Each structure stands twice: as structure tokens, then as C-alpha cells.
């Protein structure tokens, strides 16, 4: 508590004496006017500045605007403590354990506000591999910039003055299309191994080249990702796969040696010609949806990534004599249990994955009443889109996918004409099916007296 109090006092309104002098870039040079900043983040900055604090839009939003990319969200950095930020905004709450942040609601917009971080002390709580476990030490503006991961992310925008504050030549690195680490790369990766994944994602998304000094240690330090909590690893993988550049990300993950152990079965999938084509089609489809501003489904995406492993287990179980559907249930559990060891796939997403997989064998049933019941299923559309993907990859006949496309769009009489004849064996099984015992008893009992 004493150390935290001293850290807050020393953070002050200005940087400490001897701190590096940042480049202050005017709007005439960088071209970002305040009207390109979200109304919510502008208001957060203005409110904190009016109360005597420093406050800036920071990180990815500034980086993206400099590159001509529309930011997804706008974060704010300040020298106000989390408690001071919470008191300044009625609709706000403090979250986080590793490092406290404040979520401020401005209308429908949620702004993430972080207090300037200070230098890591020798007593910072770390695991045996050097990963920082707790980091609630606050500091100056210059210290906060030094604690950022890449120079491109250590950029601050002041909406009041319309200036960009650059401590680490981040603007120059962006112009040179280079992603450069702040500080010694090995130490920074050890503090937070997820930075290796982030380097790949940002390089692929923004068309940057990872600086050789930052790239060199990645392959040898990849095993540090084994120590990252599964939930955090899942969040980062989801960002990577829904970045709009998933194909490039997966390719670069493989090039950097980072795919092993992240999606443990992805290695096998990418080594199967049919599996690789299917996965790349799914990723390309997701990238296109992101570029068009359409929504994406994590459940559908992970169902595609893991399908061929589930398929391989399913075939083995059927070959061993397991009935078709029970074998599919076993295969699904086997695949998702392995994933759970590395990625904390949420229950909701896991349920979506299973629903999509379970619908696939039902698309083979195009006789009787079963097609009618299938198109009424809540997850039919996702299952149908998955079937189209399988057909495009050459896994199932395109004729099957075309039939379901026509069937769902046809009217009643046309649907009835499209139904295939029921297999002879199916008809016999229906005729031999016994009536329920209660029904038999009722039929054998004498009629009730009038």
C-alpha cells in the first residue's frame, strides 16, 4: 500500500526530471483532426483535463488513424488514478486484477481508461518464467510510453491541441512499415508472451514487417505461451482470427513457429491437403465478412478449424463398430477436450460448435419428413453455411448443397416433389416398429360401457 501511494504521488502532473522529451507532432503534419476521434473518448479526455489531469487517446486508435484505417475502439490513458477516474464519471466501473482499468460508458460507447503505468520494480510479482502477474504500479507519461509493447502503440493524441505525442519514434516506424519493440525483445516477451502473437497479428493486419530484433527470439521463446492462461490465449486467438486478415495471420504463425500448441490440432489440419483447403476457405470467408462489415461467428470459425480432427476421430470410431451418431458425440468430446487444455473455449461457443457438427449427417437425409424438421432447427442456417463450405472444399458432392439451397427456397408442392425415395430398409424398419405398451393395452381393452 505504501509503495502504491508513493507511486501515485510521484506520478504528478508532469513527467519526472530527466525523462525523455517526446516529439510533439502538429495536426498539419499528422493530419488527424479531433472530429475523427469518437465523441465518447473526446468527452472523457475533456472531462479529465478540466479536472487537472493529463488525458490522451492512446495506442491502436492513433496508430490506425495514421495508417488510414478506421479504429474499432478508442482507449484513453491518463495520470488520474482508477479511483479518480471512477469518481469523475457516474457510469463507470473499475475492472482487472493484473492491472486495474476503468470502463466508462458514454451513451452506447464504452471507453477503456488506463492510468499511466510506472517502471516495473524488482518486487513486481512474476511467475517462474518471468511473466508479470500483477502490475498496479502507476507512473509518469514517459514511463507509460516505455511500458507499451511496440513503438506503433506508444502514440498519444491530445484532442484539445490536436497533437500526437511520440516518445519512441513510432510515427517514423509506421512510415517505414516496421513493427519495432520498445526495449529488449526477449525481456518484453518474457514479461508477456502474448506479445509474440500480437506481433504476428499486427504485422499481418497492418502490412508491417516485424523488426529483425523483435522477430529473432520468437521461435525460440514460443514455448512460453504454454504458461499463458487459457482464457487470455483464447481471447488473443479470437482477435487474430477475426482481424480480417486471418489467412495471413495463420500463414505467419506457421512461419514464425507459433502454431504448435496454440490450436494443438491445427498443425495436423494444415498438413492434410483436404483439411488445409477447407480451413483456408473458412478463414477467407471470415476475412471477407469482416471487410464487408458483416458479423462473424466464433462458433462457426472454430467449428471449421477443428472439423477435420473431429471427422478423423469419427471415422475411426465408426470403423471400430460404434454406431454413427454416438460415435460423432464421442469424437466431438475428444476434440474439444484437447482444445480445452490450451484454449478456454466458452461453453456457449462449444455448444455452437457441436450444434453445427451434429447437423452435418442430417443433411444426408433427404427423404420423408426429416428435411422439413431440419430446416426448422434454430442452427439450420449455420449448419447449411458449413455444408456449403464442405462442398466448396470438395468434401461432399456439390449436388447435396445445391439440393438444400433449392429445398429451403421452394414452396410446399415443389418441396414435396424434391424429396428422394425412402430406402427400402427404412420402410421395413418402420413397419416392424412396435407400438408403445400403453397403446397396445388400450387397443386390447374392451370398449367402455355406454
* Residues labelled as active-site residues: 73, 75, 149
296 burial class (0-12, 13-18, 19+ CB within 10 angstroms)? middle
d(CA 358, CA 335): 14
Residue 39 to residue 110: CA distance in whole angstroms: 11
User: Which residues are CB-neighbours of 343 under 8 A, at least 6 positions away?
Assistant: 230, 233, 234, 237, 262, 263
CA distance 19 to 17: 6
Gap between the Cα atoms of 168 and 59, Å rounded = 13
CB contact at 8 A, 384 and 404? yes
Segment (H or E) for 141: helix 141-147
Q: Is 240 exposed, middle or buried (0-12, 13-18, 19+ CB in 10 A)?
A: buried
Three-state SS annotation for 10-75: HHCCCCCCCCCCCEEECHHHHCCCHHHCCHHHHHHHHHHHHCCCCEEEECHHHHHHHCCCCCCCCE
Amino acid at each position: 500500500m505504501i509503495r502504491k501511494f508513493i507511486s501515485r504521488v510521484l506520478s504528478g502532473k508532469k513527467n519526472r526530471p530527466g525523462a525523455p522529451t517526446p516529439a510533439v507532432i502538429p495536426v498539419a503534419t499528422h493530419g488527424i483532426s479531433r472530429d475523427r476521434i469518437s465523441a465518447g473518448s473526446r468527452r472523457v479526455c475533456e472531462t479529465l483535463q478540466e479536472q487537472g489531469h493529463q488525458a490522451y487517446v492512446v495506442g491502436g486508435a492513433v496508430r490506425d488513424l495514421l495508417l488510414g484505417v478506421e479504429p474499432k475502439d478508442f482507449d484513453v490513458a491518463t495520470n488520474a488514478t482508477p479511483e479518480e477516474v471512477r469518481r469523475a464519471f457516474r457510469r463507470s466501473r473499475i475492472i482487472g486484477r493484473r492491472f486495474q482499468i476503468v470502463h466508462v460508458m458514454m451513451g452506447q460507447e464504452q471507453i477503456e481508461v488506463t492510468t499511466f503505468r510506472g517502471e516495473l520494480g524488482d518486487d513486481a510479482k512474476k511467475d517462474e518464467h518471468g511473466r508479470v502477474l500483477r502490475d498496479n504500479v502507476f507512473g509518469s507519461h514517459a514511463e507509460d510510453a516505455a511500458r507499451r509493447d511496440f513503438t506503433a502503440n506508444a502514440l498519444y493524441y491530445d484532442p484539445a491541441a490536436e497533437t500526437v505525442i511520440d516518445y519512441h519514434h513510432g510515427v517514423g516506424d509506421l512510415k517505414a512499415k516496421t513493427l519495432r519493440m520498445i526495449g529488449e525483445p526477449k525481456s518484453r516477451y518474457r514479461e508477456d508472451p502474448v506479445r509474440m502473437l500480437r506481433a504476428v497479428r499486427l504485422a499481418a493486419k497492418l502490412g508491417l514487417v516485424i523488426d529483425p530484433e523483435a522477430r529473432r527470439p520468437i521461435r525460440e521463446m514460443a514455448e512460453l505461451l504454454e504458461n499463458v492462461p487459457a482464457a487470455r490465449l483464447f481471447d488473443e486467438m479470437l482477435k487474430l482470427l477475426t482481424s480480417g486478415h486471418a489467412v495471413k495471420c495463420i500463414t505467419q504463425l506457421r512461419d514464425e513457429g507459433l502454431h504448435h500448441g496454440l490450436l494443438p490440432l491445427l498443425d495436423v489440419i494444415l498438413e492434410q491437403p483436404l483439411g488445409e483447403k477447407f480451413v483456408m476457405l473458412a478463414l477467407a470467408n471470415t476475412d471477407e465478412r469482416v471487410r464487408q462489415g458483416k458479423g462473424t461467428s466464433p462458433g462457426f470459425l472454430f467449428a471449421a478449424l477443428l472439423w477435420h480432427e473431429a471427422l478423423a476421430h469419427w471415422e475411426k470410431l465408426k470403423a471400430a463398430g460404434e454406431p454413427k451418431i454416438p460415435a460423432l458425440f464421442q469424437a466431438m468430446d475428444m476434440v474439444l477436450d484437447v482444445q480445452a487444455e490450451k484454449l478456454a473455449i466458452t461453453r456457449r461457443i462449444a455448444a455452437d460448435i457441436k450444434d453445427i457438427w451434429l447437423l452435418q449427417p442430417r443433411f444426408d437425409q433427404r427423404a420423408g419428413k426429416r428435411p422439413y424438421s431440419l430446416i426448422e432447427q434454430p442452427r439450420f442456417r449455420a449448419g447449411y453455411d458449413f455444408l456449403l463450405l464442405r462442398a466448396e472444399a470438395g468434401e461432399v458432392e456439390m449436388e447435396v448443397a445445391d439440393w438444400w439451397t433449392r429445398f429451403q427456397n421452394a414452396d410446399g408442392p415443389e418441396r414435396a416433389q424434391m424429396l428422394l425415395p425412402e430406402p427400402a430398409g427404412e420402410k421395413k424398419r418402420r413397419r416392424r416398429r412396435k407400438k408403445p405398451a400403453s397403446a397396445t393395452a388400450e387397443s386390447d381393452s374392451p370398449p367402455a360401457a355406454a
